[in-house]
Structure 1
Amino acid sequence: MYLKVINPYDQKLLIELPFDRGKEVEGKVAGARKAYERWRRLSLEERARRVEQGLKYFRDHADEIARDITLQMGKPLTQARNEVKGFFHRAEYMLSIAKETLAPEILPGKPGFHLRIEHAPLGVVYNIAPWNYPLLTAVNVVVPALLAGNSVLLKHSPLTPLIGRHFEAAFGELDPPNLVTSLILTDREASQLIGDPRINYVAFTGSVATGTKVYQQAAKRLIDAGLELGGKDPAYVAADADLDFAVENIVDGACYNAGQSCCAVERVYVHQTLYKKFIERAREVMKQYQLGNPIDEKTTLGPLARREALPFLESQVKEGVRRGARLLLGGKRVKGMKGNFFEPTLLADVPNHAKVMQEESFGPLVPVLSVKDDGEALARMNESRYGLTASIWTRDRMRVELFARELEAGTVFQNRCDYLDPCLPWTGARESGIGSTLSQYGFYHLTRRKGIHFRAR
């Protein structure tokens, strides 16, 4: 059996790769376990040195990796290069805090006792990574897992398997070998692997439905799992917002990467005093997107990664219009192009119960609703089963502090959106997931606490 990777721009076969089966999977899992047994015994300083050695591969192959991202999932090349830069930002930050975060905590002891807390590695980390940010979502787990003393089995998305191979090329050839191993598995085999007793932790990014199954499987073995399950991230433009700044950033936050981001802006609430101007300005900004070959430097909106996303987005738009929304721009796939292109879409007066305001879209859609005041905005923003990020566009720090206290979200932004700072934990509320990556908390989820209780005689 072979995995066929299709270029979403021209629908041509990009590459065929064999699936890992039977003995191949067994060999890779055994190799990861053997690597862990050697790796965990190295000092943190030595592990950090070798991780930096692995990062050199990404620096030497940065252009190739960016191009592979673009060819596999359609991200414009300029944005793929930005993803490579973001990869280094996150990896280098986690390296910078590893020593302090993973150091044993020496506790004030009673006379004759030595008490400390160690952050022990878990073992083999099974990382199931998505296609939308194939470098960034994987590095969130791979680098801190290695620094903490674990080995990694990386099962990348079937849309972006070449990125899994790059991680293996970078870290899998270090000493010990098989430290990071790329797996190409069917969905069934990927699921079955969670039951392997040599797997000690599962990190999954994807849908709520699949994440729920992953969590259930992990629970059967009493191992932990980190789940990032997406969002329906709201933005609120308050009455005192810098309107032009807010419009440009919110539209970019909704349409960057063709909207295929778990923290993309997916619904917008605008104070009634700015609502008409916001709509007019947003329409002007969205008309400026250049659709085309993502390899072309001039392209600012590439194709969607998945063909099946096109009818799904169309159905969301139609359902919203049926419920009273006004379609001001876009709303359908682009005809006459082989690629999976969807028009930048602006919807006004969208009822909050419409699917486009409640279901994750993962496309270049900007649905907007007018609100009378901060209280209504807060209520509408919290009317969701998700809780990944939320952004407040205001000059008033006191206002945003109130929203930060009351919003059910993992991250609350003021005058920013669609961004991860690695010094903060990437986490979600409600159905947006469980656990954290990045920051010191990303290390805590990839280690277990070990109490050391010594008594001298």
Structure 2
Amino acid sequence: MPSFPTIDPFRGEVLATYPIETAARIQEKIERLRGALPAWRALPVTERVRRVTQALEYFSRNRRMVAHDITRQMGKPIRESEREIETFFERAAYLCAIAPEALAAESLPEKPGFFREIRHEPLGVLLVLAAWNYPLLVAINGVAAALLSGNTVLLEHSDITPGIGVHFERAFQEAFDRPILLQTTTDHPTIDRIIEERGVDGVLFTGSVAGGKTVYEAASRALIACNLELGGKDGAYVAEDADPVAAAESLVEGAVYNAGQSCCSIERVYVHTDLYERFVAAARASMTTFRMGDPLSEATTLGPLARGKAAAERLMGQIEEALAAGARLEHGGKIRTIGHGVFLEPTLLTGVTQEMRVMQEESFGPLLPVMRVPDDETAFRRIDDSPYGLTAAIYTRDPQRADRFSRAVTVGTVFMNRCDVLDPALPWSGCKESGVGCALSRYGFLSVTRRMAIHFRIPTGPIDPRTGREKR
């Protein structure tokens, strides 16, 4: 069977080799998951909560090993990997806590002679396709909601982080006597085939816009549910009443954390002209605080680019094009090689224009372009001028200004005085090319269930034994 390696982006070492499973092999796994489905969905939600919670204890027992594996596979600093585990538990605990209420049947107003309710039924076997940049968090968003709803799960991680899929499978194998979650490693054409041939009953995908469109096309041919979390070009506005230093520190962190490899990283900032110079100076100072190096070192705060030279070339293309068109380099802008790792220095650009690629195309790296604006309306309009619609942020002391901002932009989440953070009580969704559907919160369960209408006519008189109908 063909295989592929995973390689430590900093050390250049082969970590493990994984099989490229065939469609036939994957279908065998799906049949096992389908066989486990009736007993799993028949359990009360509270029992499913108990068993999922039990399975996730694996990650608590092995948290150091899991954090180490995340860092070795995709280059995230070990401190950030450990923080990802903390957030993983927070999200899982919240979804477990709300599942009984969120999945409870909804009763309608009483109607004499009838019983009516709306049930949230599982879809069946769900395929969760998880991205590499947050391999625990991206996976648990779909896995937890799917399993708690009574589905079983086939999990495929990116070819950069398949080892995290192995951890998920181990966790649920240790806790269950039947397979409710199995992982696979394969290639894109095989995944498309599995979807198109209706091997699974729904898909939850996190990844690139191009990848999402391919998955969506395959799902449409099979007429199955498909939830997509795709890219972003998230913008922020620093209004005239904001604290420019606090805003700069927050937005630089939002741009550089995880080497900017996040769909909701801050990728463009618009600053009111009255604060512009102070903001740029504070942002430049903030960028000097990041330390590149071995991601397993506690001292490192900026790891290598997970996709190495390919990512570096894309980022440098945006930077060089902007500089050639008149932008100014305020900090960084160079590719550095440390060990075998390819790093982009935290990079700050000013003098950019709205038409530049660096302001329109997703960067996915530690790169922050900053643009001066004269007023709120210009900032609102330019933030909304994007093919993406994941998040947008405003820094202001005025909640009314923030409310006006929220009504002027087409995005899934609007932040005030913060950015690049998910609250599991709120739906995580995108507009335009940032996705379809949502995850997290009570609304995330809607992506992994279907509505069943119960419409019973209740007899009020004796039944005629010959016809089975109510006597009149």
Using structure 1 for the length normalisation, give the TM-score: 0.98
CA contact (8 A) 1:38 1:176 kept: no
The amino acid across from 1:129 in the alignment is A
Tell me what 1:399 maps to.
401
Structure 1 residues 229, 22: CA separation in 2 closer, same or farther (over 3 Å shift)?
closer
Greater Cα offset, 328-337 or 79-88: 328-337
Structure 1 residues 211, 362: CA separation in 2 closer, same or farther (over 3 Å shift)?
same
C-alpha separation between the residues in 2 aligned to 1:35 and 1:9?
41
Give 1:399 deviation, angstroms: 0.3
The amino acid across from 1:277 in the alignment is R
Query: Residue deviations 1:205-257, cap 9 Å, x none?
Result: 11111111111111111111000111000011111111221111100000000
SS at match of 2:16: strand
- Does residue 166 of structure 1 match 2:167? yes
Greater Cα offset, 259-268 or 102-111: 102-111
- Does residue 268 of structure 1 match 2:269? yes
SS at match of 1:185: coil
Tell me what 1:33 maps to.
34
Q: How many residues align?
A: 457
Tell me what 1:11 maps to.
12
Tell me what 2:417 maps to.
415
Query: Residue deviations 1:411-430, cap 9 Å, x none?
Result: 00000000000000000111
- Does residue 183 of structure 1 match 2:184? yes
SS at match of 1:341: strand
CA contact (8 A) 1:3 1:17 kept: yes
Give 1:329 deviation, angstroms: 1.5
Tell me what 2:469 maps to.
none
CA contact (8 A) 1:228 1:428 kept: yes
- Does residue 390 of structure 1 match 2:392? yes
Using structure 2 for the length normalisation, give the TM-score: 0.95
Match for 1:439 among 402, 425, 441? Answer: 441
Greater Cα offset, 158-167 or 29-38: 29-38
C-alpha separation between the residues in 1 aligned to 2:416 and 2:338?
40
CA contact (8 A) 1:230 1:432 kept: yes
CA contact (8 A) 1:39 1:176 kept: no
Give 1:37 deviation, angstroms: 2.2
Tell me what 1:304 maps to.
305
C-alpha separation between the residues in 2 aligned to 1:160 and 1:175?
24
User: Within 5 Å, which residues of 2 pair with 1:185-204?
Assistant: 185-204=186-205
Give 1:202 deviation, angstroms: 0.5
SS at match of 1:231: coil
SS at match of 2:330: strand
Tell me what 1:114 maps to.
115
- Does residue 449 of structure 1 match 2:440? no
CA contact (8 A) 1:173 1:179 kept: no
CA contact (8 A) 1:6 1:13 kept: yes
Structure 1 residues 39, 336: CA separation in 2 closer, same or farther (over 3 Å shift)?
closer
SS at match of 1:361: coil
The amino acid across from 1:442 in the alignment is G
Tell me what 2:134 maps to.
133
C-alpha separation between the residues in 2 aligned to 1:255 and 1:36?
42
CA contact (8 A) 2:245 2:278 kept: no
C-alpha separation between the residues in 2 aligned to 1:339 and 1:374?
41
User: Over the residues paired in the alignment, what is the CA RMSD in angstroms?
Assistant: 1.1
Give 1:444 deviation, angstroms: 1.0
Give 1:10 deviation, angstroms: 1.7
Aligned-pair identity in percent equals 49
CA contact (8 A) 2:27 2:199 kept: no
Greater Cα offset, 9-18 or 217-226: 9-18
Query: Residue deviations 1:66-94, cap 9 Å, x none?
Result: 11000000000000000000000100000
Tell me what 2:358 maps to.
356
Give 1:280 deviation, angstroms: 1.1
User: Within 5 Å, which residues of 2 pair with 1:72-111?
Assistant: 72-111=73-112
| Unmatched tracts of structure 1, length 5 or more | none
Query: Residue deviations 1:290-343, cap 9 Å, x none?
Result: 000000000000001002101110000001112211012121211464202111
**Structure ID, larger Rg:** 2
Tell me what 1:253 maps to.
254
Query: Residue deviations 1:90-123, cap 9 Å, x none?
Result: 0000011111110111112321211111000000
Tell me what 1:367 maps to.
369
Query: Residue deviations 1:181-221, cap 9 Å, x none?
Result: 11000122122111232311101111111111111111111
Give 1:174 deviation, angstroms: 3.6
C-alpha separation between the residues in 2 aligned to 1:114 and 1:174?
38
C-alpha separation between the residues in 2 aligned to 1:430 and 1:23?
35
CA contact (8 A) 2:105 2:119 kept: yes
C-alpha separation between the residues in 2 aligned to 1:187 and 1:313?
25
The amino acid across from 1:402 in the alignment is R
C-alpha separation between the residues in 2 aligned to 1:190 and 1:216?
12
Query: Residue deviations 1:38-63, cap 9 Å, x none?
Result: 21111111111100111111111111
CA contact (8 A) 1:378 1:403 kept: yes
Tell me what 2:462 maps to.
none
CA contact (8 A) 1:333 1:342 kept: yes
Give 1:172 deviation, angstroms: 3.5
Match for 2:321 among 301, 319, 322? Answer: 319
C-alpha separation between the residues in 1 aligned to 2:295 and 2:100?
40
Tell me what 2:62 maps to.
61
Tell me what 1:345 maps to.
347
Greater Cα offset, 360-369 or 192-201: 192-201
C-alpha separation between the residues in 2 aligned to 1:62 and 1:123?
30
CA contact (8 A) 1:33 1:198 kept: no
Query: Residue deviations 1:105-162, cap 9 Å, x none?
Result: 1112321211111000000110111000000000000001000000000010000001
Runs of 4+ aligned structure 1 residues displaced above 6 Å come to none
CA contact (8 A) 1:168 1:180 kept: yes
Query: Residue deviations 1:22-48, cap 9 Å, x none?
Result: 542222111111122221111111111
Tell me what 1:207 maps to.
208
C-alpha separation between the residues in 2 aligned to 1:229 and 1:336?
30
Query: Residue deviations 1:430-457, cap 9 Å, x none?
Result: 1100000000110011100001111122
Give 1:18 deviation, angstroms: 2.0
C-alpha separation between the residues in 2 aligned to 1:19 and 1:362?
27
SS at match of 1:403: helix
C-alpha separation between the residues in 2 aligned to 1:197 and 1:15?
31
The amino acid across from 2:237 in the alignment is Y
Query: Residue deviations 1:336-377, cap 9 Å, x none?
Result: 642021111110011111001110000000100000010110
Give 1:389 deviation, angstroms: 0.3
Give 1:285 deviation, angstroms: 1.1
